[in-house]
Amino acid sequence: MTNRELKGEVAGTRYMLKGALWKFTLLPGLLELQLAEQLLQHGVEVTLWPNVDRSDLRVKHGGMDLDIDAKVWISPRALGHHLESVRASTLRWIVIPDYQQAHVGWLQSVCPPGLQVFTQSQCIKELTKRAHPF
């Protein structure tokens, strides 16, 4: 799995998700599954949708639990406004697609304490480094 653009298919007798379901379940779901697969390949312990989707992934490394939420929003500004209102009770990373890398700095600047923003590639790199520090 990669974060490459998905090619469409002729629908034929297949069904299609309505816009909101496609936008809020399929796209983030693909990013969640890609993150889990990549982290598992690097030997990082991952649980998808822990505690009935309290977060998208829970990662255990170095005796610490980290919650990760995958966010595939068309509007980085709308995501920023959403992040401003999030109250993290534990360390939480927000992971966005690599193609939105230009927005990481601004999104990070509006996050409350306890939240950090990474692209998919940055997340994998950082967690791999932390899981295997030497």
Residue 124 has pLDDT above 90, yes or no: yes
pLDDT of residue 50: 86
Number of Cβ within 10 Å of residue 73's Cβ equals 20
Residue ranges per structural domain of the chain: 19-131
* Crossing angle for the helix pair 120-131 and 27-41, to the nearest 10 degrees: 30
pLDDT of residue 4: 67
Place of tokens 């990662």: 59
CATH entry, 19-131, from 3.40.50.410, 3.40.1350.70, 3.40.1390.10, 3.40.50.880? 3.40.1350.70
pLDDT of residue 133: 63
CA distances from 89 to 18, 95, 98 (A): 33, 17, 26
Residue 10 has pLDDT above 90, yes or no: no
Q: Average per-residue pLDDT in the chain?
A: 82
pTM comes to 0.77
| Contact criterion met (CB below 8 Å) for 123 and 96 | no
Residue 123 has pLDDT above 80, yes or no: yes
Cα separation, 113 vs 73, whole angstroms: 21
Residue 63 has pLDDT above 50, yes or no: yes
Residue 101 has pLDDT above 70, yes or no: yes
